Every structure is written in structure tokens, then in C-alpha cells.
Structure 1
């Protein structure tokens, strides 16, 4: 087994709430296949913070019989840490290692570590990035992260097999003829470099793409309203976010459009100007007046002739309102208005008081962000 440990220049430009850099460890594995029962683990890499900078450690298997050595070294190394970070490690790396532990009779687990999967954290917001692929390399390209390695995990399977063959041949040749000329670096060394480089760039990339979590914070952390108003048929709301978005985003649908960059964002919401209906919930306490197309409470019904009133139903128990309205996708803010009772989309009235109520505006923005995707 080869153990390689060295400093790196990468930093993590993101703050993980409640943790210090010394609490974090980033990791990635390399294998000869997806199924632990029928493939081999040959490389584990980690990045960690020590002495005011980041470092890497790699454990590489020079022989397929060294899997247990790699796993032992890895789990002993990560014991002091509180958080383990990865990209889709919940889907592959972690279950693969746990299965290998089971097959090899090793008593290890990840229970003492808080697991943060960058892939799973940002996947619900993937539409924002408009990427054809959601692999780590795609996120790196989105954030303009450069890497030297040009291979993917599938390519490395053949490279590792070639390495094992070349390494065996070179060892055998040297044992038979110690004076035989050997190129420096040897073919096996060059293959080893490619294998280690891929894992190294994956780990470095993992650190470098950590700011992608700012886009999660845009949707999940508090905001602060800066200003709001109506202009040319749209409600504009500018707000400050608890994030620092490294790349500008612009995304929307037929009703809402979001733009955001660094710690500022704005929403443009198409408004409806005209007449909508407010439906009373307790329709059994109301009468509907067909001639006036509105409902009145029973306490007032004795002023209306019986032939001019009927018992109200949910669909006609309303009063009408003229105004400027903005849509909402559920009934979170009241009072709300609709065009027809069965409509799923409701509206809230936009007036001066509403535009000055920061708490209500924050609630409305959070509501829109939760539904825009």
C-alpha cells in the first residue's frame, strides 16, 4: 500500500454552520466497479485542514489484496473528525465502503460522522444551473474550477488493470536482472500518476465547489427585504440573502422570475389588475344574492326578500374586490382571492400597506422561492 500525504493550495470558500474547518474531512474513493461484491477498492483520498491550510492524504492499493489495509487506514484517520463531505457519496462511496467492511469482517461505520452530500444538497435546485449533466465535473465547470486530470472513473478501471500488469512485469524483470535498464519514470509509475491525479483532482474539486451550497442557502436561509413596488404590470421585490452566490442566476416561469448574484436577489412577479373574489369559509352562515352576484351574512339576510336570496354554497359564497393582485401557490397569506372557487392559484392584494410590511413580504418571498422550481 502506498500512502501519499501533501499540502494543497485549495481553500473552502463556504462556512459550514456550527463547524470549524478542523472538524471537516472531504473524501472520495476509486474502485474497479459499482458493486462491492464483484469489484475492488484501490484508492481512497481525503482532504483535511491542519496548521492553517488544507492537506491531502491518499491510500493506494498496489495489490487487490490490500483492500483491508486501505479501509483500516481510512477509518482510523477519520476518527477525530465530526463531518465527512462528499459528492454523491451517500449513493456510492459510503455504501460501497460499508459493504466492503462487511465482506472483509471489519467493524467500521460512519455513525460518528455527520455526512454532508453536496450532490444531494444541491440536486433539488438543479434547474437553476441549466446543466446537461450534474456530475461533479459539471459543477466544477459551472464554477470555473480548473483540473489537470482528463479521465473519468470508468477510464481508470482499465488504467488500474494496466498498472497492476506493468508493476508485476517490472518487479519480475528487476528480480531476474537487477542491472536491466529501467526508464524513469517507468510505465507503471506513469500509470500510477494518472490514477492518483484523478483522485487528487476530485478531492481538490470537492473543496473548490463547496460554494455551490450558497445556492441552497438562497432558498433555505433568512432574507431581508430591501425594497418592493409595482412597475409596468409587475411586482418587484429586492432582497438581501444569507449567501454569496459566485455565479449570477436567472430563472423563472410564466408568473415569477428570479435573479440573484453575490448577496443580492430580486423577484419579478406578474400581477393581475382587475376584479377577483373573496370566498367566505363558513358558507353555511351566508346567503347568495343572484341579482347582486354576492353573498351576505345571515344576520343581514332578513333585510332581503326570500325570493331574492338562496342558501350559499362554497362556490358562490363570495364578495368581489377590484384591485392589483399577485399570485400565491398555496393559502399561506390571507386574505386571499380567486377567480373561481375551484382554482388552485390564489391571489393576494398588493397595496401600500402590504408593500411596507417587511415580515409579510419576507413570508411571501419565501413562499415564491419554495415554489419557483
Structure 2
């Protein structure tokens, strides 16, 4: 088994220590010859860890497939000193794979004593705002303009590792003074470099993509409303956040809502509707509809209207109308709310000066819009 340990020139630019109240943080990634623990082999485990406020790397590499158990033991003994384990889709692959290997090799180790942070799972609820072709770690690295030296995929490296094992066996059979043995050792060093480099770049990339976690702040962190007003038929709301630093500008939205965010601010633009809408009364049994006036009135007033000019109201005719400027509601969170027709799913709230000056109502509405964007097809 080869153990490699060295300091890094990479820095962690996302405050995991504050977010999770610990500086005992370790990042990890594994390399295997396939997805199924029962029929494939683990050949490399790498970790990046915090030590004296700087980052260091350690890697355990199996020169023989029989060294799996030793790799796993070294890894679990190492992470005993840490409280937060960070990974990318480790909940879907790395952790179940190692757990199964422990079971197969009768090793008494588990992840129960360390808190696990899966960056992939953490961003999954908001991943559609990035509009990426996929959500592999390398794709996020490209989005964040992170460069890597390694150009292989994990699948491509299976063949590289198999070649390494084959040449390792040949090396054992060769006389150390044989010229071809030196050539094999040179080739082994090249293959080993490729295998270690891929794991190293995966781990460095894992550290470097941590600021992707800032993008969830848009939806779940408190904000300050800097200004709100109507401009060219849109309600525009400018927000600022504390402890917020989006590294790359992002824009997302629907046909009538758009959010543009960068650094510690966000601008929400919402199409307004100007015209006439209907307010529907709930207790339609207590109303009459007046076709000539196209509105409903309460029974207490309808008794003064001739029977030929009034009809019993139905849910779809029990309304009054109002002219104004309105903003969309995807749930009736503001009262009164208005619609174009009774069965419409979208309702509206009146947008006026009182609404814009009421910070509590405006905050409630912004949170409503964010909630809708998380559930909408962007």
C-alpha cells in the first residue's frame, strides 16, 4: 500500500466551520473498479483535511487488490478525529460502497459517529436554477470556472488501474538489473501518477465547489429589501443578504418572474397585470347575480331588485370587479385576491403604495415567489 500525504495550496472559501459549528472537517472520495461492492475492488481513498487552518491531503493506494481491508481501516481510523465528512454524491455511492465492503471483509467500521454533508444532495432542491446539462462534479467545476489538470473519468481509470496491476506483476518477475525492469518501473510511475492525480483533482474540486452552497441562500436566508417599485410594467425588488457571496452571476425564472443574482444581492422582476379582475365571494348562497350590472350583491340588497333582473349566484358568478394594477399569486396568501375567471389557478393581489410600503407583506410575498420558483418548471 502506498500512503501519500502533503499540504495543499487550495483554500476553502465557503464557511463550513461557521455553518456546521466545527473546524474538524474532512473531505473524501474513493476510486473503485466498478459500482457493485460485491464484484469490484476499492483501490484508492483520498481525503483533504483541515490542519492548523490550512488544507492537507492524504491518499491510500492499493498496489494489490488484497489491500482493500488495509485501505478501509486506515481511512476509518483517520476520520475518527473529525466531525464533518464532506463528499459529492457520497450518500449515493461512496458511503454505501464502503459500508458494504466493511460487511464483506468483516470490518467493524461505520459512518454513524460523523456528520455527513453531501454537496450533491444539498443543492438538489435548487439545481434546476443552474440550467446545466448534468450535475456531475466536473460540470459544477466548469460552471464555477474551476480548472483541473486531470482529464480522465473514473470509468476510464479502471483500465489504467488494471494495467498498473498487470505491470506490477511483471515487475516482480523481472530481474532488478534488467533494463526492461527499469522501463516497467517508469511506466508504473506514470500510471500511478494518473490514478493519484484524478483522485487529487476530484478532492481539490470538491473543496473548490463548496461556494455552490451559497446559491441556496437565495431561498432560505434572511434578506434586506433595498427598494421596490414598478418600472415598465414590472414589479422590481432589489434584495441584499448578509454572509452571502455568489461567485458567478446567475439568472433564472418563469415567463413572468425572473431573478438575477450575484455576490450578495438579487433583483426580482415580476410582470404585473393592469386592468379589470374579479373578486369572488366564498358564500355564494348569500348572493344574487345581476346580469345587467355583471356583479353579485348580497341578499339583503338584492331584495330591492326586481326578480327578472337577478339570479341566484353560482360560484362562478358570485363576484365584484375591480380595476387596478395586480401581481400574481400562486396560492391565495394575500387577501383580498382576485382572478380573471373562477376556475383559474393563478390569482392576483392588488399592487398599490400601501403594499409596497408594508415591509412585512412584501417580505411574505417575496418568500411566496421563491417558494413558487422552487416548485415551478424553470
TM-score normalized with structure 2 length: 0.93
Counterpart in the other structure of 1:22 = 23
CA distance, structure 1, for counterparts of residue 99 and residue 153 of structure 2: 23
Bigger CA drift: 362-371 or 133-142? 362-371
Per-residue displacement from partner, 1:208-258 (whole Å, max 9, x unpaired)?
000001111112222221111111111111111342111011222211111
- Identify the residue that residue 371 of structure 1 maps to in structure 2: 372
Q: Secondary structure at the match of 1:371?
A: helix
Q: How far apart are residue 61 of structure 1 and its match? A: 0.8
Aligned equivalents of 1:9 and 1:187: distance in 2?
A: 28
More deviation, 116-125/195-204: 116-125
Q: Distance in 1 between matches of 2:336 and 2:173?
A: 83
User: Alpha-carbon deviations, 1:91-134, whole Å to 9, x = none?
Assistant: 11111111111211222222222222111222332332232232
Q: Can you give the 5+ residue segments of structure 2 that lack an aligned partner in the other structure?
A: none
Structure-1 residue corresponding to 2:106: 105
Per-residue CA shift, 1:254-305, capped at 9, x if unaligned? 1111111101111111111000011122223322222222122334333333
Offset at 1:138?
1.0
What residue number does 2:231 align with? 231
2:40 match: 39
What pairs with 1:78-97 in structure 2 (closer than 5 Å)?
78-97=79-98
Say whether the 8 Å CA contact 1:21–1:49 is kept in structure 2.
Answer: no
SS of alignment partner, residue 22 of structure 1: coil
Taking a change above 3 Å as real, the CA distance of residues 205 and 168 of structure 1, as seen in their structure-2 partners, is same
Q: How many residues align?
A: 370
Report the equivalent of 1:341. 342
**Which stretch of structure 1 is more off in the superposition, 282-291 or 132-141?**
282-291
| Structure 1 stretch displaced more, 363-372 or 332-341 | 363-372
1:283 maps to 284
Q: Which shows bigger deviation, 240-249 or 302-311?
A: 302-311
Deviating more after overlay: 96-105 vs 304-313: 304-313
Structure 1's unaligned 5+ residue stretches are none
SS in 2 for 1:186: helix
CA deviation string 1:314-353 (max 9, x = no partner): 2111111100011121222222110001001111111001
Any idea what the Cα deviations from partners look like across 1:178-218, whole Å, max 9, x if unmatched?
43342596211111111011000000000000000111111
Judge which range, 294-303 or 203-212, deviates more: 294-303
- Match of 1:89, SS? coil
Contact kept? 2:167, 2:184, Cα under 8 Å: no
Distance (Å, rounded) in 2 between the aligned partners of 1:134 and 1:321? 47
> Which stretch shows the higher mean deviation, 58-67 or 283-292?
283-292
Taking structure 1 as the reference length, the TM-score comes to: 0.94
Q: RMSD value over aligned CA atoms?
A: 1.7
Corresponding residue for residue 179 of structure 1: 177
Given that 1:278 and 1:321 are in contact with CA atoms closer than 8 Å, whether structure 2 keeps it comes out as yes
Kept in 2: contact 1:329–1:344 (CA 8 A):
yes
Contact 1:22–1:48 (Cα < 8 Å) also in 2: no
- Higher mean displacement: 318-327 or 96-105: 96-105
1:150 aligns with 2:148: no
